[in-house]
Amino acid sequence: MRKSVFVRLAAVLVAVAGPAIQSWVSRADASTTTSTSSVVTTTTIAKPSPVCVGACRPWRAMDTWLAGPPAIYTTTFAPSPRAPSVMAYAAWIRTSSTALALYPGYKGPGPTNLDRGPMMVPLSGRSRLLATFNSGFYESDAAAGFYVNRTLYFPMIKGLATVVRYSNGRIDVVRWTGAARPGPTVVMARQNLPLLVNNGSATPLSANNALWGLTLHGAPAVWRTAIGVDARGNLIYAAAADQTAAGMAAVMVRLHVVRAMELDINPEWPILVTYGASGARNPSLFVPNPNQIAARFLYSSTKDFFAVFASRRRGEPQPW
């Protein structure tokens, strides 16, 4: 058995058997090499199976109106047996048949005098819009790089977690090691804090809750969101209430990501919308947030956000 597979299996056993084998898994994981190398994208349906410690629903295809194999599946599961009513909401996104786009809002990124683009899902892309979801913090709350549509809104910062789209269409979540301005192979890059998960395990920094954003009323456990990539290069988004940073890292590990970064937090911001027909029709809130509405990104948005489109060809520019 390969070491990386062995370590992931051990991590699953920890979730079931508890702390008795935690130190053994930590020793095994310490022998692996931290990596942010490229992963191979495949068209094979390989939906991750959450390690359910409470109620868990089967994965459900959300874009059955689209020709071809579904590209977006969702599921819910209870991250902790101590709180079986607290659910995590997860979406698996096939990157080989979709294009991930990033759009500024009218306040974020900001402040800036640069062109903010449509600040909503542009009409030119709505015929193939599959999903939209929240991005990261305001740059005034946490310094971070922001690059899209050949425009550098804020310079990239070395060491920060970054969701990147490359000119060949590949998507990754990496620890940024490049220059302040992305090179010609990068068409989109959005940073937010350090990596939450790396090499399939929670990072040591995830244990320090104070590093992961100011929370409403100072509560340690709040709504948190995150995005990661699995071993085949597919995207996984998750949102869950009552989570510390360590708790959110555990959610992402149970979804079998190899790397993940935290996105926005606190009750107001978590949102993932799926669309039930071409033309952005029949929008539906997958993450149940009374502070949001399903049509949120079909008109001018306050903050930046991500959109997922059915792709027509690899590496195509995002609608703008």
Count of C-beta atoms within a 10 Å radius of residue 81: 10
How many CA atoms lie within 13 Å of 287's alpha carbon, on the beta-carbon side? 28
Asked if 108 and 55 count as a contact pair (C-beta separation under 8 A), the reply is: no
pLDDT tens profile 81-122? 888 889 999 999 999 999 999 999 999 998 899 999 999 999
Tally of structural domains, the chain: 2
Distance of CA 157 to the CA centre of its chain: 19
User: Given phi > 0 = left and psi -120 to 50 = alpha, else beta, which region is 315?
Assistant: left
- 236: tokens are 């996984």
Is 319 within a domain?
Answer: no
Look at residue 25 in the predicted model and tell me its pLDDT: 26
Is 317 within a domain?
Answer: no
Tell whether 120 and 217 lie within a shared domain: yes
Tell whether 91 and 28 lie within a shared domain: no
**pTM reported for the whole predicted model:** 0.84
* More confidently predicted of 7 and 240: 240
Tell whether 14 and 80 lie within a shared domain: no
Is 315 within a domain?
Answer: no
Q: Which of 265, 278, 262 is nearest to 217 (CA)?
A: 265
Tell whether 125 and 204 lie within a shared domain: yes
Tell whether 10 and 129 lie within a shared domain: no
Is 318 within a domain?
Answer: no
Look at residue 58 in the predicted model and tell me its pLDDT: 85
Tell whether 180 and 61 lie within a shared domain: yes
* More confidently predicted of 261 and 57: 261
pLDDT tens profile 156-201? 999 999 999 999 999 999 999 999 999 999 999 999 999 999 999 9
- Domain encompassing residue 4: 1-32
Residue 172, SS3 per DSSP: strand
